[in-house]
């Protein structure tokens, strides 16, 4: 088998992808599929931490646009990520994968409080670690939380698994002429104002030299392919 390109990864999962074909909520079939893929990755000897969005339950930006206070909307969104984290933990543990949920907002009955050294210790023991509740602060996206946690645990790469197969010149679901980028630099993503990933997250990765790979979560096996270095999605680094 091909040798993995990375030792420790931080994986961002789209909350909206957890809906599957539903209009809202969590699809058990999607949770089972993702859990199986994460188990396959762990069996390669990879240490994996996961951050999940909450867009399948609540979108803070949309609520803010409709008049809700931004801080309140963001905190509700953080709680949505906790729900998703517990659902993924359940899916993983049903497959025999030891899993820990660490929350940036303390709720000791259901999750451990986030401590970076504790997270690293769990990873070293080959447990899947799920970071819930974003950064614990409003005005920061789960993309930024992923970049931040990635550096705190000394991850080798940030994997962003979403509903599209990379970064495009425009939204490929709307524009048929949208062109896909195979590789980009951090600066190009920022200068072109490409919306597939939060600009604060890109800046944080640039300043700390954390590579980003963006790929389609809905294609089975893509998480493992990204870790094995196969050419999928779009890779964002310091140089193109």
State the DSSP string of 140-207: --HHHHHHHHHHHTT-SEEEEEESSSSEESS-TTT-TT--EESEEEHHHHHHTT-TTS-HHHHHHHHH
Query: pTM of the prediction?
Result: 0.94
**Residue 121 scores a pLDDT above 70:** yes
**Residue 172 — pLDDT band, cuts 50, 70, 90?**
confident
Q: Which pLDDT does position 4 carry in this prediction?
A: 82
pLDDT band at 60 (very low <50, low <70, confident <90, very high): low
Round to whole Å and give the CA distance between 47 and 144. 20
Structure confidence at residue 3 (pLDDT)? 77
Distance CA 90, CA 224 (A): 21
CA atoms within 13 A on the CB side of 173: 5
Count of residues for the chain?
A: 240
Q: pLDDT class for 85, splitting at 50, 70, 90?
A: very high
pLDDT band per the 50, 70, 90 thresholds, residue 54: very high
- pLDDT of res. 174: 86
Q: What pLDDT does 196 receive? A: 84
Averaged pLDDT, 154-172: 91
**Model pLDDT for residues 173-185, shown as the tens digit of each residue:** 888 888 999 999 9
**Would you identify the CATH topology of the domain 8-237?**
Carbamate kinase (3.40.1160)
Angle CA(2)–CA(202)–CA(149) in degrees, nearest 5?
Answer: 70
Q: For residue 42, how many C-alpha atoms fall within 13 Å in the half-sphere facing its CB? A: 24
């Amino acid at each position: 088998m091909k040798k993995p390109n990375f030792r420790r990864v931080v994986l961002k999962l789209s909350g909206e992808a957890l809906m599957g074909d539903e209009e809202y909520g969590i699809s058990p079939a999607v949770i089972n599929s993702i859990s199986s893929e994460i188990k396959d990755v762990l069996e390669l000897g990879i240490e994996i931490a996961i951050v999940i969005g909450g867009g399948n339950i609540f979108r803070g930006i949309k609520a803010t646009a409709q008049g809700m206070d931004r801080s309140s909307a963001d905190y509700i969104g953080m709680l949505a990520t906790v729900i998703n984290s517990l659902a993924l933990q359940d899916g993983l543990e049903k497959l025999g994968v030891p899993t820990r949920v660490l929350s940036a907002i303390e709720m000791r009955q259901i999750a451990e409080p986030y401590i970076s050294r504790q997270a690293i210790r769990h990873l070293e023991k080959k447990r899947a670690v799920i970071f819930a509740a974003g950064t614990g602060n409003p005005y920061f996206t789960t993309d930024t939380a992923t970049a931040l946690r990635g550096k705190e645990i000394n991850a080798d790469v940030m994997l962003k698994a979403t509903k599209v197969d990379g970064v495009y010149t425009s939204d490929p679901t709307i524009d048929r002429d949208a062109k896909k980028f195979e590789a980009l630099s951090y600066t190009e993503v920022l200068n072109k104002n490409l919306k597939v990933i939060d600009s604060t997250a890109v800046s944080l990765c640039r300043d700390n030299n954390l590579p980003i790979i963006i790929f389609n979560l809905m294609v089975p096996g893509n998480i493992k392919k990204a870790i094995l270095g196969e050419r999928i999605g779009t890779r964002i680094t310091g140089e193109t």
